[in-house]
Structure 1
Amino acid sequence: MKEAISTYDDILVMLDHLLKEQSKFNWDHFYSERDRGVPFFVNSPDENLVSYFENKILRRGKVLELGCGPGRNAIYFAEMGCSVDAVDLSQESLQWARVRAIEKNASVNFINENIFELKIAEGEYDIIYDSGCFHHIAPHRRMSYINLVRKALRPDGFFALTCFITGGEHGGAEISDWDVYRTMSLKGGLGYTEEKLRGIFNEFKEIEIRDMLELDPANHLFGVKGLLTALFQK
């Protein structure tokens, strides 16, 4: 790779590689151990996502899921009649997701790609959903993330995410953006507050920001402490 900086994109790519070089974490290895007691491995949709449909805020349409993991939310969207493109960097997670989709007879277009390298038409999607991807996005990529959401959503489209609360039970590093580069680490995932999400996504209309509800798995919904849920409209 050419190690020269002549454009803004060159700076982003350099910072991507420097953070990756310092990290020992591997997403394919993470998803290969499917029997571990990882809360996010359950095959149930987020309780907030289900509530958006039950309250008729979201309706069937074309969906882009960012960082879909083993596919639990993508499959739910498909079951609700949506056309779904679900993206993840991990081949291992997508293999698992495809098995789950077949078991539920759900049609999902799973894509193995970096979200910042997607080829997306302007206003292509009615809904963009992110459950657990955003808190793994480094600060230097936030502008790229916002630009992706802005471009991909049609006018009046919805963007929803679930992310770590600062100091949460499952993650949520309480560090400044500068500290990410001082330590060259996201500390397992950055933590957010309601105020910080409002500031980052201030160009979108806020529909709801709240703590995820803690639910018994018997409800067949995913709900745990330590996560924030948010719904915005373009």
Structure 2
Amino acid sequence: MTAQPPPEDPEVPNPWQELDDLYAVRPPWEIGRPQPAFLDLARSGVIRGRVLDVGCGTGEHALMCAGLGLDVTGIDLAATALRTAVDKAQRRGVAVRFLHHDARRLTDLGERFDTVLDSGLFHLLAPDDRPAFSGGLHEILRPGRRYFMLCFSDREPESGRRGPYRLSRHDITGAFEGALRIDAVEPATIDITLDEVGIRAWRVAMTRT
């Protein structure tokens, strides 16, 4: 399968137009490689089967999974990022399907997956949007399959600017209660281009029971 430029869905509202605009230049979370916390998962062999990368950005984690020989779909609302992801896939000669799609409407994909990756999507969702997202994950994940999430931690100081939610363990467990079983919430780091120390984060592993 050859990567094709994903069409924008005119029926999908984009509440994060400002996020899409940020991709006109390189945003700090685009480090040109997979996040180490997710690269470790790939090396451990826990990423398996059909993979969905939600909030895939410019595609580094989707491309990482495709390099493992997996069937991968990446979704995002940032059309600029998706065009970059398609270009990367073509240049690297790997097959990934990239779609302009709202992660709060996962069931609209009409598909099921074995692994879902989320590097920096969930911590952008307003509390009112989290039930739709977690419920969608429950529907699209096959029983026994897994969701891995990397998000800002409440251990990361507030910057004084609007940005991702700093999530506590309680925020995470509450958001997914009844949808997925939480297997682990571990301290991690999100690498960024602006600070070699990175962002204090959680790496979360969950299972669809």
Q: What TM-score results when the alignment is normalised by the length of structure 1?
A: 0.72
CA distance in 1, matches of 2:51, 2:182: 19
The alpha-carbon distance between structure 1 residues 136 and 103, as it changes in their structure 2 partners (threshold 3 A), is same
Paired residues, number: 192
1:200 corresponds, among 171, 175, 182, to 175
CA 1:172–1:103: 2 relative to 1, 3 Å: farther
Match of 2:188 in 1: 212
SS in 1 for 2:149: strand
Query: Which residue of 198, 202, 206 maps to 1:228?
Result: 202
In structure 1, the gaps of 5 or more residues are: 1-16, 174-185
Structure 1 residue 214, shift from structure 2 partner: 7.1
Corresponding residue SS for 1:142: helix
Unaligned runs of 5+ residues in structure 2 are: 1-12
Query: In structure 1, the residue corresponding to 2:165 is in which secondary structure?
Result: coil
The correspondence for 1:27, drawn from 3, 19, 44, is 19
Query: Quick one: which of 157, 160, 164 aligns to 2:148?
Result: 160
Query: Tell me, what secondary structure is at the counterpart of 2:23?
Result: helix
Deviation at 1:230, TM superposition (A): 0.6
Aligned-residue offset at 1:172: 7.8
Letter in 1 for 2:100: N
**Greater length-normalized contact order (CA 8 Å, ≥ 6 residues apart):** 2
Q: Distance in 1 between matches of 2:147 and 2:204?
A: 8
CA distance in 2, matches of 1:215, 1:65: 18
- Per-residue deviation, residues 115-157 of structure 1 (Å, max 9, x unmatched): 23452336x1001111111111111111101111000100001
Kindly state the Cα deviation for residue 81 of structure 1 after the two structures are TM-superposed: 1.3
Do 2:152 and 2:199's aligned partners in 1 also have CA atoms closer than 8 Å? no
Larger radius of gyration, structure 1 or 2?
A: 1
Q: Quick one: distance in 2 between partners of 1:188 and 1:53?
A: 28
- Aligned match of 2:89: 101
For residues 71-120 of structure 1, what are the alpha-carbon distances to aligned partners after superposition, in whole Å with 9 as ceiling and x for unaligned?
A: 11111011111111101101100111112112222211000122234523
Cα shift at 1:167: 5.5
- Distance of 2:198 and 2:37 partners within structure 1: 11
Superposition RMSD in Å: 2.9
2:127 aligned partner, one-letter code = P
- State the Cα distance separating 1:206 from its structure 2 match: 2.5
1:43 equivalent in alignment to 2:18: no
Q: Distance in 1 between matches of 2:105 and 2:174?
A: 25
Do the aligned partners of 1:212 and 1:223 also contact (CA within 8 Å) in 2? no
Residue 42 of structure 2 aligns with which residue? 53
5 Å matches for 1:86-97? 86-97=74-85
The one of 120, 127, 147 aligned to 2:115: 127
User: Percent of aligned positions with the same letter in both sequences?
Assistant: 22
Q: Which amino acid is 2:154 matched to?
A: T
Contact preservation (8 Å) 1:63, 1:126: yes
Contact 1:209 1:229 in 2 (8 A): yes
Give the structure with the higher percent strand: 2
- Aligned mates of 1:53, 1:226 — CA distance in 2: 21
